[in-house]
Amino acid sequence: MIDIFKTNQKDITIIWESQRKLPQSIMGEDAAKHFPSFNVKILDENLNDLYVYENIPSAEQIGTISKASYSARQKFIQDNPAVAFTSPRIQASIFEVQDFIKNSFTFSIEENYRIFFQKNNRHGFYKKVYIVISHNDYARNSYECFVEYEEPISLNFEQAVEKIYRSSDGFSVKFKFDPLKYEESKVCGILILAKSNDLILSPLYAQDLPSKWLNSIENSKILTLPFKETAILDEIDMIDVEVYGLSQSQSKIIEEILKENNLISIYQFLNEFTTCKLISSISKINPNAIELQELKDRLARLEEGNI
Could you report the per-residue pLDDT of 12-56, keeping only the tens digit for each? Answer: 998 877 766 655 554 455 555 566 788 999 999 999 999 999 988
pLDDT for res 62:
41
Q: How many residues does the chain have?
A: 307
Could you report the per-residue pLDDT of 203-252, keeping only the tens digit for each? Answer: 999 999 988 887 666 788 999 999 998 888 888 889 999 999 999 999 99
Q: How far is CA 75 from CA 69, 70, 115, in A?
A: 10, 9, 37
Q: Which domains does the chain have, with CATH numbers?
A: 2-149 (no CATH), 154-304 (2.60.40)
Q: How many CB atoms lie within 10 A of CB 270?
A: 20
Residue of 290, 252, 278 lying closest to 181 (CA atoms)? 278
Q: Kindly report the pTM of this predicted structure.
A: 0.76
pLDDT for res 129:
97
The bridge status of strand 37-44 relative to strand 128-135 is: antiparallel
Residue type, 227: F
Three-class secondary structure assignment of 112-144: HHHHHHHHHCCCCCCCEEEEEEEECCCCCCEEE
Residue of 243, 248, 238 lying closest to 225 (CA atoms)? 243
What distance in Å separates the CA atoms of residue 186 and residue 160, rounded to the nearest whole number? 11
Could you report the per-residue pLDDT of 124-151, keeping only the tens digit for each? Answer: 999 999 999 988 776 666 789 999 999 9
What distance in Å separates the CA atoms of residue 307 and residue 304, rounded to the nearest whole number? 8
Could you report the per-residue pLDDT of 56-110, keeping only the tens digit for each? Answer: 887 654 444 444 345 556 666 666 666 665 666 666 565 555 566 778 889 999 9
SS3 167: coil
Higher pLDDT, 229 or 269: 269
What distance in Å separates the CA atoms of residue 34 and residue 46, rounded to the nearest whole number? 30
